Amino acid sequence: MRLSLAKLLALSCLYEVSQGSPVPLGNEYQLQPYNIDLSSRVPRMLDLIKGTKLPAQPVYINTGTSAGISLSLLESFQTEWQTIFDWNREQEEMNKFNHYTAVIEGLKIHFIHERSEAEDAIPLLLVHGWPGSFLEFVPVINELTQNATTATGQNVSFHVVVASLPGFAFSSSPPVNWTVADTARVFNTLLTKVLHYDTYATFGTDWGAGIAYSLYSQFNNTVRALSLDFLPFQPYTPAQLAAENITLSPLEEFEQAEATEWENTGEGYFIEQTTKANTIGLALYDNPVGQLAWIGEKFVNWSDPNAGQSPSVLTHNEILRSVSLYYLSECFASSVVIYQQNANGFSTVYTKANNDAPLLFSAFKYNVGFWPPAVVAKTGNLVLYTNHESGGHFPGLDNPPALLEDLREIATYWSN
């Protein structure tokens, strides 16, 4: 029997992702390569961007971004979107990675899978949050697959998996009452049953931190290292820190103040999406400039003030690429549902995971949440805590070299 070229290519791709064990075409998870092609939707997006009328004068004058995204900044983004941004170029860059989909528990899960050539490479699952996507990790994926060394000179490289959360990008929308623990279970199936990794490490940020922590807690035989820059627990207040005699360094005091300010003034979106996800989802569903205002403000306010300047790669183009992905993949409404479905996703009650595997934590100066080492240690086997003088809520974009360095330290503590 002669196979078509398409089937031969599919077989080749499936062999690559199965760690040496060919997966039959009729496999139960329907694993197959995926190509991003949203170009047909771009003309409508550009027409809507061009046709969106903004106020002639700002409602709030000289407030910067304290009242939300400013009119001048939104106008700048709108102009750049129409005149400079090129979706086809960005899509071509995205498709340079190996994209796949698999069907797990009835959900189509999209993911990138890039393998290292090293035989002892560590499988690593990277988990994004909102308003992120797999694009958050694009600056570090290829570097992670390359041979490098840890701070102690140990060789390290990774087989990298970046999965899109249910309801994000090209992954199916989740059913009612779907929790981060459910996503963790599906992702564990992806790593162990679809890709055939016996053990793996994981990193999570924002909602992805909750998913990664749930993986660490639920699947202690397969998740053998956890790295985070965020916790699925409410940060301590100054009073709580004082009650436990936790003293802070000057950098930590700055981070604590920033986190307290964000808690006081930056959580309006959180309340809206947790209580009325459908309203905001439908209001902005077919409104690219509206999505840009809603999402772009988070990228701007949650990041290092020097965004776009090395080591940050969080340029205007990067923000437009992320918002375009949300609009063109029609996932905005389904992405915000994670808030309503996980209203207590950031708990006030700290628990320690039943896992002796190492926990590594990366703090970034301008992140919106802050947890000092003594607090992080309450949640797992903390072996390394690193605090960075630059970077914010999107470390793969805000400070890729620091995230790379921290993730590579997993190898120092890795053991199957």
* 396, 304 Cβ separation under 8 angstroms: no
Q: What does the DSSP assignment read for 51-100?
A: H----SS-SS-S-TTTTSS-HHHHHHHHHHHHHT--HHHHHHHHTTS-EE
Task: Compute the distance between CA of residue 410 and CA of residue 408 in angstroms, rounded to an integer.
Answer: 5
The answer to whether 29 and 194 have CB atoms below 8 angstroms apart is yes
Residue 410 DSSP SS3 = helix
Alpha helix (H) ranges present in 95-196?
138-145, 180-189
Q: Which helix (H) or strand (E) holds 359?
A: strand 358-364
Catalytic-labelled residue, pool 213, 366, 393, 398: 393
393 counts as catalytic: yes
Q: How far apart are CA 191 and CA 43, in angstroms?
A: 37
Residue with tokens 């981060």: 180
Q: How many CB atoms lie within 10 A of CB 338?
A: 27
| Catalytic residue check, 197 | no
- How much of the chain is in helix, strand and coil states, percent to nearest 5? 45, 15, 40
Q: Given the residues 100, 159, 182, 206, select the one marked as catalytic.
A: 206
Q: Which of 339, 366, 388, 406 is catalytic?
A: 339
**Which amino acid is located at 175 in the chain?**
P
- If you search the block for the tokens 């300047």, which residue do you land on? 309
Largest CA distance in the chain: 73
Instruction: Check if 356 is active-site.
Output: no
Burial of 96 (0-12, 13-18, 19+ CB in 10 A): exposed
> In sequence order, which residues have a C-beta less than 8 Å from that of residue 98 and are 6 or more positions away?
13, 16, 17, 33, 112, 113, 114
Residue with token string 């709030």: 60
Catalytic residue numbers, as ranges? 206, 339, 393
